[in-house]
Amino acid sequence: MTNDMTYAVEQSGWGYTAIGAREQILACAGIVPQWHGRGLAWAYLSDPMERHEFLFVHRAVKRFLDTCFIKRIEMAVDCDFEEGHRWARLLGFKVECERMEAYRPDGGPCALYSRVLN
């Protein structure tokens, strides 16, 4: 990140918005609580995104996850979305189920990842 860039992360409950230097939305992400100790992670990232913008978003999400008190966080990743699988692993998630058929609203498959606190 260069020194002429300004970034912001705005929090709203369990959802966050990352705003870039040109006041554009870089990402929205959050966790949907399921019950005490379990939540479902979600994220929408802008496309395309510059490398430094992605690093900003990644670090903010990683920092949140590293300080989060939820014991088990799950995320679903479209089976054919390689960048999503790579990002899940970089965030510390492990694949639990490689393919859940008809998981998406359109009937498409997803993989299930989880991150569990010890």
For CA atoms 62, 66, 70, 75, the dihedral sign is positive
- What residues contact 8, with CB distance under 8 A and at least 6 apart? 18, 19
| Residue corresponding to tokens 């019950």 | 35
The pLDDT confidence band at residue 13, using thresholds 50, 70 and 90, is low
Mean pLDDT of the chain: 89
Question: Percent of the chain having pLDDT more than 90?
Answer: 76
Spans of all domains in the chain = 8-116
Q: What CATH topology corresponds to 8-116?
A: Aminopeptidase (3.40.630)
The pTM of this model reads 0.84
CA dist 32 and 104 (Å) reads 16
In this predicted model, what pLDDT tens digit does every residue of 84-113 receive, in sequence order? Answer: 999 999 999 999 999 999 999 999 999 999
The pLDDT confidence band at residue 9, using thresholds 50, 70 and 90, is low
CA dist 24 and 35 (Å) reads 33
- Neighbouring CB atoms inside 10 A of 104's CB total 12
